[in-house]
C-alpha cells in the first residue's frame, strides 16, 4: 500500500531580469495565461540556468510576463503549425535579454 503525500504552497516565479542583463533557461511545459495581482500575465514553466539575481542554479520556476516577447511566444505556441518552433521550444535553451530601455528580446541558443 502506497502512502499519498501532499504538498502545499505556490510555485516560485523567476525574478525580474535586471536591465542590461540576461537570463538563460529551457522551457519545461506549455505556456498559459494566469491572473495575478498585477493583472493578466503569461506563465511559462522553465528550468533557469543563468540569472544575475540568483546564486544557486539551476532551479525550476515560472517566468511570468506581460511583455511583447511573451505574447509572441504564446501566439507561436498556440498556432502549433510550426513543428520547427515547437521542437525548439521544447528542446532548446533560450536567452532572454533585457535592454537598458526595459524592453525584452529572446533568442534560441
d(CA 46, CA 24): 10
- Mean pLDDT in residue range 95-101: 97
Assigned domain for 13 exists: no
The pLDDT assigned to 82 comes to: 87
Instruction: Encode pLDDT of 28-40 as tens digits.
Output: 999 999 999 989 9
3 lies in a domain?
Answer: no
Q: Does residue 5 form part of some domain?
A: no
Output the pTM of the full model: 0.88
Per the structure block, which three cell numbers stand in for 108?
534560441
CA atoms within 13 A on the CB side of 101: 3
Domain count, the chain: 1
Q: Which three cell numbers stand for residue 15?
A: 525574478
In Å, how far are 3, 6, 65, 101 from 44, measured between CA atoms? 31, 24, 9, 23
- Count how many Cα atoms sit within 13 Å of the Cα of residue 11 in the half-sphere of its side chain: 14
Enclosing domain of residue 94: 21-104
Average confidence (pLDDT) over 32-49: 96
Would you say 71 and 80 are in contact if contact means Cβ atoms under 8 Å apart? Answer: no
Q: Is 1 inside a domain boundary?
A: no
Residue 81 within any structural domain of the chain:
yes
Residue written as grid cell 535586471: 18
Q: Is residue 27 part of a domain?
A: yes
pLDDT at residue number 1: 57
Asked whether residue 53 is assigned to any structural domain, the reply reads yes
Q: What is the mean pLDDT of residues 57-63?
A: 97
pLDDT score at 80: 76
Residue 42 located in a structural domain: yes
103 pLDDT above the threshold of 90: yes
Amino acid at each position: 500500500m502506497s502512502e499519498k503525500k501532499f504538498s502545499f504552497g505556490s510555485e516560485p516565479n523567476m525574478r525580474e531580469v535586471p536591465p542590461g542583463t540576461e537570463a538563460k533557461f529551457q522551457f519545461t511545459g506549455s505556456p498559459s495565461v494566469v491572473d495575478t495581482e498585477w493583472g493578466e500575465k503569461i506563465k511559462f514553466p522553465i528550468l533557469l540556468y543563468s540569472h544575475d539575481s540568483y546564486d544557486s542554479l539551476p532551479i525550476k520556476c515560472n517566468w511570468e510576463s506581460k511583455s511583447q516577447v511573451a505574447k509572441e511566444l504564446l501566439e507561436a505556441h498556440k498556432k502549433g503549425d510550426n513543428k520547427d518552433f515547437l521542437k525548439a521550444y521544447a528542446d532548446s535553451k533560450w536567452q532572454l535579454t533585457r535592454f537598458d530601455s526595459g524592453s525584452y528580446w529572446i533568442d534560441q541558443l
